[in-house]
């Protein structure tokens, strides 16, 4: 197990660790004090001097958000937009693509429900086709199948998740990027479950757009997220709506969009949340993405081994490469009931409904335990002990 992270300090800066074994980080992680303090300070400033005035006074902190995020994912600050959540970030990117009838969208078997709904909406609105790339023998997106689909032509967009919400696999994002670049096809990566737990570099991955949230593995405030859009594709994308921040009204019948990724933002936003997310990003960067990934994947591997040794427990995770999300079932017990029973004992997990929207045979409902670097072996032991006491 990695010792590169000062786990004791991380836990001391995370009040929730004192009372709970929080293993629901794929839902919402526990924020550290530097994040909650940053949010509280700005809310207090708004209360004392006014919202507009507080935003002006905090301009440097607000602008620092773009530098912090760019550094975290290997981008440029003008390629970053602040959004109110990951869904809005993804939607702004997806609905900015100028689709034409007959265009093809390629996606995964394990796509998130909100994304799947948007694909179907685009099919109805523009006459595009949604084609699902099958899995390989490991359960992740097959690069061979993707290459074959790209070779058929007509693909306008490849839109996939980096980490599905319902199991522990990691899709081969960099391999997908390589194929998309070769084919000259736009690539949108949903990184909602990967940024903050895995090392994510947009240059290594080769995606044109990337969306993520603040509340999950980044440990930021709820109601925050960001969108990355590569410079070279920016002018080809038309945001589905604009306002006086994302565009400039130049004449009664004309406007000009911003030249940077902030054309995907709106003027009104949660400034305390943006400042808090910047604090979370800096906190993660200070620890180091490689060290975070090593500890999280190590803890998750330990948990899978312990669970697999338990009679009646089935670990469901797939993928050649796995992350901090661990899914399992317990014979004779409904996952949702397990979740509530464990919560009563101070152990936070979540349950999934087994809805893999494009898979021919959806998996079963399952318990989802998702670890973070501030978790310990004692947290895992609390989970295992609680499972042993199920009635």
pLDDT tens profile 147-164: 999 999 999 999 999 999
Per-residue pLDDT at 167: 84
How crowded is residue 317: how many other Cβ atoms within 10 Å of its Cβ? 19
Mean pLDDT (the chain) is 95
pLDDT above 90 covers a percentage of the chain that reads: 93
pLDDT tens readout for residues 25-35:
999 999 999 99
Which tokens go with 54? 């507080």
User: Rounded CA gap, 88 and 85, in Å?
Assistant: 5
What average pLDDT does range 112-118 have in this prediction?
93
Question: Is pLDDT at 355 greater than 70 in this prediction?
Answer: no
Record the pTM: 0.95
Q: How confident is the model at residue 262 (pLDDT cuts 50, 70, 90)?
A: very high
In this prediction, residue 353 has a pLDDT band, given cuts at 50, 70 and 90, of confident
The label of the residue with tokens 């994308």 reads 237
CA 314 to chain CA centroid, Å, is 26
Q: Are 324 and 370 in contact (CB under 8 A)?
A: yes
In this prediction, residue 176 has a pLDDT band, given cuts at 50, 70 and 90, of: very high
Alpha-carbon gap, residue 41 to 319, rounded angstroms: 42
Q: Structure tokens of 13?
A: 């800066």
pLDDT at residue number 114: 92
Q: Is the pLDDT of residue 364 over 90?
A: no
Distance CA 107, CA 117 (A): 12
Categorize the per-residue pLDDT at 120 as very low, low, confident or very high, splitting at 50, 70 and 90. very high
Share of the chain above pLDDT 70, in %: 97
Determine how β-strand 209-213 pairs with β-strand 366-370: unpaired
Structural domains of the chain in order of their starting residue, each with its CATH number: 7-30+288-388 (3.90.1150.10), 35-286 (3.40.640.10)
What is the rounded distance in angstroms from the CA atom of residue 66 to the CA atom of residue 380?
A: 36
């Amino acid at each position: 197990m990695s010792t590169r992270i000062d786990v004791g300090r991380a836990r001391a800066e995370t009040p929730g660790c004192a009372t709970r074994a929080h293993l629901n980080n794929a839902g919402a992680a526990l924020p550290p004090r530097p994040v909650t303090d940053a949010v509280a300070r700005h809310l207090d400033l708004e209360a004392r001097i006014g919202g507009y005035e507080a935003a002006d006074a905090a301009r440097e902190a607000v602008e620092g958000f773009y530098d912090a995020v760019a550094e975290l994912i290997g981008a440029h600050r003008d390629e970053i937009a602040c959004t109110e959540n990951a869904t809005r970030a993804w939607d702004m990117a997806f609905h900015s693509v100028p689709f034409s009838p007959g265009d093809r969208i390629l996606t995964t078997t394990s796509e998130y429900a909100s994304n799947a709904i948007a694909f179907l909406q685009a099919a109805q609105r523009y006459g595009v086709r949604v084609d699902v790339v099958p899995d390989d023998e490991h359960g992740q997106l097959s690069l061979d199948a993707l290459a074959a689909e790209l070779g058929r032509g007509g693909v306008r967009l490849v839109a996939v998740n980096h980490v599905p919400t319902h199991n522990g696999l990691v899709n081969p994002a960099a391999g997908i990027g390589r194929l998309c670049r070769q084919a000259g096809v736009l690539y949108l990566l949903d990184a909602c479950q990967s940024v903050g737990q895995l090392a994510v570099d947009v240059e290594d991955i080769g995606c044109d757009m990337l969306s993520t949230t603040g509340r999950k593995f980044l440990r930021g405030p709820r109601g925050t997220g960001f969108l990355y859009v590569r410079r070279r594709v920016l002018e080809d994308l038309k945001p589905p709506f604009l306002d006086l921040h994302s565009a400039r009204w130049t004449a009664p019948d004309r406007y000009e969009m911003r030249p940077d990724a902030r054309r995907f933002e709106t003027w009104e936003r949660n400034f305390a949340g943006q400042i808090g997310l910047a604090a979370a990003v800096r906190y993660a960067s200070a620890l180091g993405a490689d060290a975070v990934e090593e500890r999280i994947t190590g803890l998750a591997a330990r948990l899978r081994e312990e669970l697999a040794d338990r009679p009646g427990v089935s670990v469901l995770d797939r993928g050649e490469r796995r992350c901090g999300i661990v899914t399992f079932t317990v014979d004779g017990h409904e996952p949702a009931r397990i979740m509530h029973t464990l919560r009563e004992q101070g152990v936070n997990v979540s349950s999934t409904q087994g809805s893999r929207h494009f898979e021919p045979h959806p998996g079963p409902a399952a318990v989802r335990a998702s670890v973070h670097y501030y978790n310990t072996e004692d947290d895992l032991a609390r989970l295992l002990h609680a499972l042993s006491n199920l009635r």
